[in-house]
Chain A
Amino acid sequence: MDGSTRGWSFDWRRAAALVAWTCFLGPAGAGAQEPDRIQVTVDRNQVALGDQLYLTIRIEGSPDEPPGLPELPDFRVLSRGERRDMQITNGRVSNSTSYNYLLIPTRAGSFEIGPATALIDGAEVRSRPFTIQVSAGEDQSDEQDRDLFVTSTVSTDRPWQGQQVIYTWRFYSRVPVGQGSIESMDFGSDVVVEDLGEVRQFSTSIDGVQYSVNEVRKALFPQRPGELTLPQTQLRVQVEVEQARRLNPRRSIFDEFDSLLGTGGRWATKYLLTEPLTLDVRPLPPAPAGWNGLVGDFDIGASLSRSELQVGQSATLEVRVGGSGNVQLLTEPDIPELPAFKIYPDQPDASIDRSGHLLTGRKVFRRALVPLVAGPLDVPPIDLVYFDPELGDYATRSTERIDLEVTPADGEEELMLTESLAPTTGKVAVRILADDILPIRRAAAGIASVTPQGWRLWVWFACGVLPPLIYLALLAHHRRERRYAADRTLRRRQRALRDALSVARKLRSGAGPASAAEASRIVRRYVGDKLGVEGPALTPSEAEAALVRAGVDGALAGRCRTLLERLEAAQYGLAPVAGGGGLAAETSTEGLSDLIKTLDRQLRGRQR
C-alpha cells in the first residue's frame, strides 16, 4: 500500500521546476537560437577608485583575430590572457573564446563601455554597450582620511635638458598590507633614470594620523627639451579585508596558526595609481668650447705628488672632478700641452654615490709626469666647463697653477726611456725600429669558399643524415635475423605463400601424372611450411587433420584432402586428370593459387 502510494504521489517540487523551466528557460532557449556572437561582461558595474574589475569578451566560434577593445580612456587596461572552451550539446560541438582584461579606473564618474568588435568568418560583429559607475570612494575627498594612497613628486617641473630631477614616489598606508609590487615605473627613452638607494621605510603623521610610508627615489635626466610626461606609476598591493576577525579578543589557537603560516584573514588586491606629471624641459643655450655634457654642480681640483724633482724622475699629477648631476658623463678634462714632460696615463678611479638625496660622483685621473728639462716648470690651470642650472648658464671652474722645481739628473746620465739594458751582460736589448703588416696572400686558397659547395656539400649532408638511417635499417635486419635464428620455422612460415605461388606460376599446363605430382608437391610443401612439419611426407588425411588443428575450417581442409587424394590417384594412373571432375581446373596455376591463398588467409587469421 505504501509502495503504491509512493508510486502515484504528486511531486509538486518537480512539477514546479518543470513549469519554471517551461516558462522561463523555454523562452530563453528560444531566444538563444540567435545568440550574440560577441558578449562583453564585467564582474560588477559599480566600483570605487582604487578597486579593479574584470572585463570578459566572449566570442562564439573562432574569431579571425583578437577582438578590438572599446575605447577605455578612463581605465588602465591589463590583459589577463584568453581561454578557449568547447561544449558538446546534443551531439553538437560549439566552441568559444574568452578574452579577459583587468580594468583599473583612473577617475570617478559614469562611463559607457562602447561596443567591442570582432571579425568572425569575415563578418564584423559588435557587442552591446553598457555603463560602469566609478565612485570616488568614501574617503576619496580628503587624502589624509584614506587608508592607502600613493603620491609622486618631482624636485622641479621646469628642469634644463640633462639636469638632475629627483622623482619621489611614496606609498602611505595605515592598515596592514601584504605583498606589493610596483608594476609600472617606466619613464621612456627620453629620460635617463638612476636609482637613488633602496626603498626607504619610515613613519609620518599627517594631521595627527600616523602613516607607514615606503619611499622610492630616482634621479631623472631628461634628454630632450620640450614637454615630457612622466606616466602614472601603478602599485599592486595585497590588503587585508577581514580585520575584524583578526582583532577578535576571543581568537582561537587556530587563528594563531593562521597568523604564523600567513593563511588567516582574507586579502584583496588593490591597484593604486599616481597622477601623471609633466616636465617642461628647457633647452640648453649654445655650448662653449670644452663642454662635454655636464649639467649640475661640479668642482675640479689638481695636485702634484712632488714639487721638487730631478730630470727623469716622475711625479703623479692627480686631477679630481666631481659633483652632483649627470655624473655618468664625467670625463677627463682637457689638460693643456706639457711639452717639458713625458706623460704616462694611468687608470682613473671612479665612484658614483646613489645613497643620498642626489646622484653624486667623483672621478680621479692620474698621470705620471717625467720632466725632460731642468728649471722651474709649471702645470697650467685645468678648466672644467659645466652647465649650472641655478645660474641658467655655463660655468667654468679651474685648478690652481702648480709650480715645480726640476733639477738636473745626477751624473748627467742620458735619459733613454725607450731602451732597456740587460742587467748582467750590459748589452743593449734589441730595439724595434719600425713595424709593418705582413704581406698579402697569393695562394689559390683565396679563391675557394670555406663552406662546401656542389657535390661536396651533398657528401657532407649525406654523412650527417644517412648514417642514422643506415643504422636503423641494419638494426631492423639484425633483429629479423635473430628472430629467424630463435624460431627455425619462422622463415618457412613467412615464405610459404610466396614460395608456393612462385612454383605454382611455373606449373606446366596440360594433363598427366607429372603435373599432378607437381601440383601435389606444391600443396603439401605449402601445408608443411606453414604448419612447421615435413610437408612431402604428409598423407591427405594427415594434411587435413593438421589444417583443422591449425584452425582451418573443416570444409576447406576437406577440399584440400580431396584434392590431394585425387592428385595421388591421377599421379599413379588410377584416375584421369583431364575431365576428372574438374581436376584439371583445380591443378591449374589459377586453381592452385586460389586454394593456397584461401588457406593462407584462414591460417593468418587464426595465427593472429
Chain B
Amino acid sequence: MRWLAILVLVGAVAGVPALPQEEEVPVVTAVPPADGSPAAPEPAELWVNGNAAYEAGDFGRAVALYREMREMGVDNGHLHYNLGNAYLRAGELGRSIASYRRSLRLLPRDEDATANLTFARRSARDEIAPPEPPVLLRTVLFWHYSLAPVEVLRSAVLFGLGFWIVLAVRLYRPASEVLRWSAVCLLVVGLALAGSLVAHAAFSSPVAVVLPQEIDLHAAAGEGSVVRFQLHAGTEVRVVEQRPAWIRIELPDGERGWSRREYLEIVG
C-alpha cells in the first residue's frame, strides 16, 4: 500500500508542467511525406511561421496561422496574447480585446497581457467600463482571480491528495493534533479551491465584445425592432440572455438591448 502512495506522489510531481521558459523555438522546416502529399503543419511550425509573419507585418497571415493552432487544440495564454497583438495590428479591435481577455484568464498574472489589454481598451470608442466582478468578490475569492482555472484545479487536486495522505497517516497516529488540524486545513483549502471553480462555472455571466465598428442594439430580438442604442468596436458588455441568433446584453447602467450573435464575441 505504501509503495502505491509513493508512486502516486512521484507521478503527481512529474505531472506538474514546467514553468514557461523563455527559450526561442528553433525554426521548424516541414519535411514532406514520401508519397508527395502536403504535410500537415505541426503546432511548432505554425507558431514560428505566425511569429515570422507578424514580424514581417503580415498580420492577416499571422492571425490565420495562430487560429490554425487553436483549431488544432493548442490553447494557452501565450497563443491568445500573440493572437490579440495580431488582431490589434490588423485593425480588429474587438477580437483583439477578446483574445487578451482569454490570455489573462489563462495567465492572470501576466503584466504584458494586462498592458496590451489596457492599450486596446483605450482605442474603444464607447465610454463604458468593462464588466468586472465586484471588489468584495475579488477580495474574498482572491485565489480565483489570481490563478488560472487549471492552476486552481491542480491546487485543489494536490490539496485533496495531501488531505488523504494526512488522513492515512493519522490512522497510525490518531492522537496527533498536528495531523488532525493539518487534515482540516487541507480539506478546507481544497474545498474552497474546488468550490470557487464550481461557483464560477455556475453563476458567472459571460462577457461579450463588440466586433464591428458600430452595431445597433434593439429593444427586442428582431431586425424590425426599435434601435435603442448603438455600441462600437471593442466595447465589453455583460451577456444576460442568449438565443440561437440573438444575444441580449446589459450595460453597467442597466440598459439592455439585443444584438445579432455574429456581431459579438463571447468570452467565458
> Using a CB–CB distance below 8 Å, which chain A residues touch chain B?
161-162, 189-190, 192, 221, 223-224, 292-293, 326, 328-329, 331, 345, 435-452, 456, 459-460, 462-464, 466-468, 470-471, 473-475, 477-478
Given contacts A329-B226, A456-B15, A477-B1, whether A446 and B75 have CB atoms under 8 Å apart is no
List chain A residues, Cβ under 8 A from B75.
449-451
List chain A residues, Cβ under 8 A from B150.
450-452
* Closest beta carbon of chain B to A282's beta carbon, Å: 14
List chain A residues, Cβ under 8 A from B172.
478
- 8 examples of A-B residue contacts, CB within 8 angstroms: A329-B228, A440-B55, A440-B81, A440-B86, A445-B76, A450-B148, A452-B15, A463-B15
Given contacts A437-B120, A459-B11, whether A443 and B20 have CB atoms under 8 Å apart is yes
Q: Which of the four size classes fits the interface of chain B?
A: 35 or more
Kindly report which residue of chain A lies nearest to residue B218, judged by CB atoms.
A223
List chain A residues, Cβ under 8 A from B8.
462-463, 466-467, 470
Closest 7 pairs between A and B when the two form their complex, measured CB to CB: A467-B164, A445-B20, A459-B15, A446-B78, A459-B11, A441-B78, A438-B112
Contacting pair A446 B22 (CB below 8 A): no
Q: CA separation between A441 and B113, bound complex, in Å? A: 11
Contacting pair A223 B14 (CB below 8 A): no
* Closest beta carbon of chain A to B118's beta carbon, Å: 10
* Residue of B55, B73, B228 most packed against chain A (CB within 10 A): B228
Contacting pair B78 A345 (CB below 8 A): no
List chain B residues, Cβ under 8 A from A440.
51, 54-55, 81-82, 85-86
Contacting pair A450 B23 (CB below 8 A): no
A-B contact count (CB 8 A): 153
* Closest beta carbon of chain A to B193's beta carbon, Å: 12
Kindly report which residue of chain B lies nearest to residue A192, judged by CB atoms.
B219
Contacting pair A444 B171 (CB below 8 A): no
* Contact digits for B1-45, partner A, Cβ 8 Å, 1 yes 0 no: 100110010011011010011111100000000000000000110
B79 interface residue per 8 A CB criterion: yes
Q: CA separation between A292 and B227, bound complex, in Å? A: 8
Given contacts A451-B75, A470-B4, whether A189 and B23 have CB atoms under 8 Å apart is no
List chain A residues, Cβ under 8 A from B20.
443, 445
Given contacts A445-B78, A452-B15, A459-B11, whether A223 and B224 have CB atoms under 8 Å apart is yes
* B residues 113-145 in Cβ contact with A at 8 Å: 115-116, 119-120, 127
List chain A residues, Cβ under 8 A from B55.
440
* Contact digits for B47-90, partner A, Cβ 8 Å, 1 yes 0 no: 10001001100000000000001000111111101100110100
Q: CA separation between A445 and B21, bound complex, in Å? A: 7
List chain A residues, Cβ under 8 A from B77.
450
Contacting pair B76 A450 (CB below 8 A): yes
Dominant secondary structure of chain B at its interface with chain A:
helix
Kindly report which residue of chain B lies nearest to residue A478, judged by CB atoms.
B171
Binds A, one of B152-160, B205-213, B231-239: B152-160
* Closest beta carbon of chain A to B52's beta carbon, Å: 10
* Closest beta carbon of chain B to A535's beta carbon, Å: 33
List chain B residues, Cβ under 8 A from A448.
17, 74, 76
Q: CA separation between A471 and B76, bound complex, in Å? A: 35
Contacting pair A293 B25 (CB below 8 A): no
* Closest beta carbon of chain A to B195's beta carbon, Å: 15
* Closest beta carbon of chain A to B119's beta carbon, Å: 5
Kindly report which residue of chain B lies nearest to residue A451, judged by CB atoms.
B150
List chain B residues, Cβ under 8 A from A436.
119
Which of B85, B222, B228 has a CB less than 8 Å from the CB of A224? B222
Kindly report which residue of chain B lies nearest to residue A435, judged by CB atoms.
B119
Q: CA separation between A292 and B86, bound complex, in Å? A: 36
* Residue of A221, A446, A456, A464 most packed against chain B (CB within 10 A): A446
Contacting pair A463 B225 (CB below 8 A): no
* B residues 209-268 in Cβ contact with A at 8 Å: 219-222, 224-229, 255
Contacting pair B157 A460 (CB below 8 A): yes
Which of B1, B76, B221 has a CB less than 8 Å from the CB of A189? B221
Contacting pair A447 B226 (CB below 8 A): no
Kindly report which residue of chain B lies nearest to residue A345, judged by CB atoms.
B127
Contacting pair B11 A446 (CB below 8 A): no
* Closest beta carbon of chain B to A459's beta carbon, Å: 4
Q: CA separation between A519 and B11, bound complex, in Å? A: 52
Contacting pair A442 B115 (CB below 8 A): no
* B residues 81-115 in Cβ contact with A at 8 Å: 81-82, 85-86, 88, 106, 112, 115
Contacting pair B15 A460 (CB below 8 A): yes
Q: CA separation between A470 and B167, bound complex, in Å? A: 11
Contacting pair A444 B127 (CB below 8 A): no
Contacting pair A467 B160 (CB below 8 A): yes
Q: CA separation between A574 and B43, bound complex, in Å? A: 90
Contacting pair A463 B112 (CB below 8 A): no
Given contacts A223-B226, A440-B54, A446-B78, whether A475 and B171 have CB atoms under 8 Å apart is yes
Q: CA separation between A515 and B82, bound complex, in Å? A: 86
List chain A residues, Cβ under 8 A from B184.
none
B201 interface residue per 8 A CB criterion: no
* Closest beta carbon of chain A to B257's beta carbon, Å: 10
* Residue of B85, B88, B219 most packed against chain A (CB within 10 A): B219
B185 interface residue per 8 A CB criterion: no
B168 interface residue per 8 A CB criterion: yes
Q: CA separation between A464 and B159, bound complex, in Å? A: 10
Contacting pair A162 B226 (CB below 8 A): yes
Contacting pair B25 A442 (CB below 8 A): yes
B188 interface residue per 8 A CB criterion: no
* Closest beta carbon of chain A to B27's beta carbon, Å: 11
* Closest beta carbon of chain A to B140's beta carbon, Å: 25
List chain B residues, Cβ under 8 A from A444.
21, 23, 25, 44
* Closest beta carbon of chain A to B248's beta carbon, Å: 11
List chain A residues, Cβ under 8 A from B69.
447
* Closest beta carbon of chain B to A321's beta carbon, Å: 14
* Contact digits for B168-191, partner A, Cβ 8 Å, 1 yes 0 no: 100110000000000000000000
* Closest beta carbon of chain A to B124's beta carbon, Å: 14
Contacting pair B76 A442 (CB below 8 A): no
Contacting pair B154 A442 (CB below 8 A): no
List chain A residues, Cβ under 8 A from B228.
293, 328-329
Contacting pair A464 B160 (CB below 8 A): yes
Which of A326, A437, A467 has a CB less than 8 Å from the CB of B85? A437
* Closest beta carbon of chain B to A365's beta carbon, Å: 13
Which of A443, A452, A459, A474 has a CB less than 8 Å from the CB of B171? A474
Contacting pair B168 A450 (CB below 8 A): no
Given contacts A443-B20, A446-B82, A449-B75, whether A326 and B164 have CB atoms under 8 Å apart is no
Q: CA separation between A78 and B76, bound complex, in Å? A: 52
List chain A residues, Cβ under 8 A from B44.
444, 447
List chain B residues, Cβ under 8 A from A463.
8, 11-12, 15, 157-158, 160-161
* Closest beta carbon of chain B to A386's beta carbon, Å: 13
Contacting pair A471 B167 (CB below 8 A): yes
List chain B residues, Cβ under 8 A from A450.
75-77, 106, 148, 150
Kindly report which residue of chain A lies nearest to residue B25, judged by CB atoms.
A444
List chain A residues, Cβ under 8 A from B4.
466, 470
Contacting pair A464 B119 (CB below 8 A): no
Q: CA separation between A452 and B120, bound complex, in Å? A: 31
* Residue of A437, A449, A451, A460 most packed against chain B (CB within 10 A): A437
Contacting pair B5 A470 (CB below 8 A): yes
Contacting pair A437 B76 (CB below 8 A): no
Contacting pair A438 B161 (CB below 8 A): no
* Closest beta carbon of chain A to B104's beta carbon, Å: 13
Given contacts A436-B119, A443-B21, A475-B171, whether A189 and B164 have CB atoms under 8 Å apart is no
Q: CA separation between A192 and B12, bound complex, in Å? A: 57
Kindly report which residue of chain B lies nearest to residue A473, judged by CB atoms.
B1
